[in-house]
Amino acid sequence: MQAMAEAGLLQATTKDIARRAGVAHGTVFAHFRTREDLLCAVIEELGARVTGRLHQLASGDHGLLALLEAHVQGLIENERLYTRLVAERSGIPMRAQYTLVMIQSAVSFHLSAALDRESRQAWRGSRPPELWPLHLMFNTWIGLLHHYLMQADLFAPGEPSVLRQHGPTLARYFHALVADERKV
Amino acid sequence: MALKTCIACGMPMGRPADFAMGDVTREYCVHCARPDGSMQSYPEKLRSLTAFIVRTQGLDERAAETGAAAMMARLPAWKDHRGKG
């Protein structure tokens, strides 16, 4: 996973991967028939880690801000490989491409539940009017995060994690935007 | 309570309210149950998961359906599904 995070999903060679794992080159193919199988397994593991961590951090009916912070924390722990997935998604095998949809589905599930809880509290149990479609709000949050991830060299040059530096502020800012739009 | 995962959609089920009919012995969640408590069929789950992705992520419906099918293919309830209804 580290080799692909550093060199890129499509650039990392099986020789690099074997060297990092401390195994002979041929051993890689004893576990994975092809490089494509290995790549798909790595992406699947990434998806399991990000969604598992989010479920773990988001359990307990927290508010929207806590959910956003949990999302950021889960991404920080897998930041380089996740950034590679976002950047290279269209070039990887189809079965791995949809891992990103699976990750975002877990995020949108928790985000919409947290927003619903917060809105009902603010509106004393009744459902507030939905001014804009939910997906626009979700995509605004994801777009904000991805913009910082894609330009990490500009927002946090030399730092191991752009989200560690900027994520908490982005979460608070987005929460304030949503609170203003939803009157929560 | 040990965390179980819904066999039909992958959602973690940590509280009784997460389980179908609030029954913690079930293997599937409240979102994958029909009103009578039985588990939704493959086409029903594909339809509802696709609608969820469109509503919350705004994907094109065909892309959302492909994504939903890819997600379902990894879950125990649908692993053996090969385009059956």
> pLDDT at position B66, please?
94
Element containing residue A70 per DSSP (H, E): helix A64-76
> pLDDT at position B25, please?
93
Can you list the domains of chain A with their CATH numbers? Answer: 2-182 (1.10.357.10)
Q: Which residues contact A139 (CB under 8 A, 6 or more apart)?
A: B57, B58
Whether B12 and A59 lie within 8 Å, measured CB to CB: yes
Residue B11 distance to chain A (closest CA, Å): 8
Nearest to A135 among B3, B49, B58 (CB): B58
Write out the two tokens for B83.
């385009």
Q: Nearest chain B Cα to A98, which residue?
A: B67
> pLDDT at position B4, please?
85
pLDDT averaged per 10 residues in sequence order, chain B, 85 residues? 81 88 93 94 96 96 95 90 59
> pLDDT at position B34, please?
94
pTM score of the predicted model: 0.88
pLDDT averaged per 10 residues in sequence order, chain A, 184 residues? 88 87 86 89 91 82 88 94 95 91 93 84 69 91 98 96 98 92 66
* Residue A145 · residue A75 · CB < 8 Å: yes
Q: Which residues contact A12 (CB under 8 A, 6 or more apart)?
A: A3, A4, A6
> pLDDT at position A137, please?
93
Q: Is B11 in the A-facing interface, judged by CB distances under 8 Å?
A: yes
